[in-house]
Every structure is written in C-alpha cells, then in structure tokens.
A = this chain, B = another copy of it.
Amino acid sequence: MEPAKAGHRIALDCMGGDMGPSEAVAAAALALKEGLVGPDDRITLVGNEEVLRLLAREHKFRPGGRVDIHHAPGIVLPDDTPMGVLKGKKDASMVVALELLREGKVDAVVSTGNTKVLVGAGTIRLRTMEGAERPALAAIMPRRQGHFVLLDVGANPEATPEHLVHNAIMGRVYAQSALGIAEPRVGLLTVGTEEGKGGARINRTHAALKAVGDRIRYVGPVEGFDVFGDVCDVVVTDGFTGNIIIKTLEGLVFMVRDMVGPKVRYNPVYLAGGIAMFPLLRELKGHLKPERYGGAPLLGLNGIVMKAHGSSNRHGIASAIRLGREALEAGAGRRMREELAAANAVMATLPPA
C-alpha cells in the first residue's frame, strides 16, 4: 500500500500546443469541472505568468485554490532539439515543468509540446526509473471492442530484447490504470506467429517473455492483422515499428477521408447518402485516431509524463490530465519498478545471446 497522500499535483505545460495557452487553461478548468481530477488534486499551469493570470481570471480560478501558476517565459518550438533546449532554453515551459517534477514539487507533467524534445529532455532530466534502460511512448489504440495499448510508438527506435521486455511490463501496468483491465494480456508484434520467425531479436524477446510469462500474462507473438481483434491488450514493439504503424494508420484514415469527401460531393449515387455518411465518418475518425484517449505517457522515467497531441483541444488535454491522474492513483510508477525488478531477476538467469 502506498501511503495516503494529500492529493496529486499535476504540472500542465501550457505553451506547447497548436491551440495555445487559452486551450490548455480551458482544459484545466474542464478537468476540475468534470471531476477528472480528485478534490484534493492540484494543477500547476506552467508558462507565461501574465498570459496565464489573465486566462485564470476568465475561468474564475481563485488564488490559493486548486489551480496555481508557475512562470516560465520560454517556448519550445517545432524545430528545437533536446540538447538545444536544455542548453539554451532553460526557461521554456516544458523544461520548467519537467524540473518541477524532478524536484518533487509536482507528481506528473502533461505537455502538448514537441514530442522529440519531451522524450529527449525528459529522459535526460528525469532519468529512467530503476530497472528500465529506455523510456517508451504508449498509445491507446481502438480495436473492434474497446482499446489496446501499443508501445513503443517512437521513444526508442533501436530496442533490444531487454527493452522490449521492459516495454511489456510497463505497458501492462499502464493498461491496468488506463483501460481498467485487471490482468491485461501481452503480445509481441512480429511477422509470423510460429517460433523462429521475425529474426534473432524477436526470438530472444519471445524467450525472455515466456520466462517471465507468469507475471505478465504473455500470450505469445501476434501479427499486424491480430491487433484489432481480441487477441491481447498490450502490443509490444520497438519505437521504429510502432511509430511507423501509428503514422501509416493515421495516413490511411486521412486518405480515406480525402477520398470519400469529393466522392460524396460529385457522385450522385453517393450524394444521396452524404448526410448520413458524414456523422459516421466523424465517429469513425474519433474511434480510429490514436489521440482519442488524449495522451500518450512516456513510460519508464522517474515521474509520470503525459504527451498530448500537438493539435489537442481542451478535451484532448483534459483527457491526458485524467490519464496521468489515474496512473498516479494506481501507483503505476511504484508497480512498474517492482515488476521490472522481478523481470530483470528472471532475465539474469537466461543464457546469454
């Protein structure tokens, strides 16, 4: 049991999103109003104090209430690099938010900013948690019934078998808090489900996952076709493959939208169904977009870091706040460290590659 706390403290990087700080502050208001955070939780808005003070007044946040402001005048831009930001932009809202987390002044960070900088700067400043070597970005994806966790979707493109086992463990703990599945099933993404396919790295990962399988409910290798079915709840892959998957799927969804749009307008056969079709497409898009759950956590660091899509509106950002809060409430960090330690102990007994 974790000791009872006075509530969770969440820092919201308000300056990184495409829609600007007003949408971030509106998301904080929404999270409070809709009870996405608990009555004892606090949200710290990080960014330009003058701007945030005006926005806070609009939303009638009381001074000394559940929302406070932490000044950070700098902004991380799309072309910035992690090292460039850590050296030259120490006052950027993202860096300051990460620093608050490192110093233990908050328990989680939510950011809509530059993914590459968040992964790089977050890893350098917070360091990986005991038992993990690399962080992993975990996306929640739709399937026929419900959702599944896909990780890594871009933090660590060159994952070793050990990293992949760590991804399995962290993804499973995250699926418990984010999807509410008590015993999520874990699958290893590969190109053929018979043993011996997919190459040496996959074989070694498969052997290690089997060895720790009792603790993680490992169901074995899964193929690309399986992920949308009901085969497993956590799909483990490296950050190269995972990133290409989510971008290719998103590309397909946008292509279909572009293909259907003009057809509905110009083809009289389709025009008849146009009115009925558009709400359906909107619904499909909502169902298919990886951002539906509003945030992808950067797992494996000392502290909870949630990445929300750069184009997120207040609902997307509020959803990332909720996911971060749920991970804190579930003690996800502590549970990941325990499970990583147990898995590493098992892996240490395996024969070397």
Interface, chain A (partner B; CB < 8 A): 116, 142-144, 154, 157-158, 189-192, 197-202, 223-229, 237, 239-241, 243-256, 258-260, 263, 269-277, 279-280, 284, 287-288
Contact = CB atoms under 8 A, between A and B. Distances in A.
A241 B240 contact: yes
Copies, count: 2
A349 to B, nearest CB: 27
29 contacts: A116-B192, A116-B197, A157-B191, A157-B198, A191-B240, A224-B243, A224-B245, A224-B247, A225-B251, A227-B248, A228-B254, A229-B251, A244-B245, A245-B245, A245-B248, A248-B248, A249-B252, A256-B284, A256-B288, A259-B284, A259-B287, A260-B280, A269-B276, A270-B279, A272-B276, A273-B273, A273-B274, A276-B277, A277-B280
B224 A246 contact: yes
Contacts of A251: 224-229
A241 B243 CA distance: 10
Contact of A259 (B144, B255, B259, B269): B144
A117 B254 CA distance: 36
Given A229-B251, A263-B280, A272-B273, 13 more contacts: A157-B197, A224-B247, A228-B255, A244-B245, A248-B249, A252-B252, A256-B288, A259-B287, A260-B280, A269-B279, A270-B279, A271-B276, A272-B275
A225 to B, nearest CB: 4
Contacts of A249: 224, 248-249, 252
Contact of A157 (B199, B260, B271, B272): B199
Contact of A191 (B190, B243, B258, B269): B243
Given A154-B191, A191-B157, A248-B245, A270 B275 contact: no
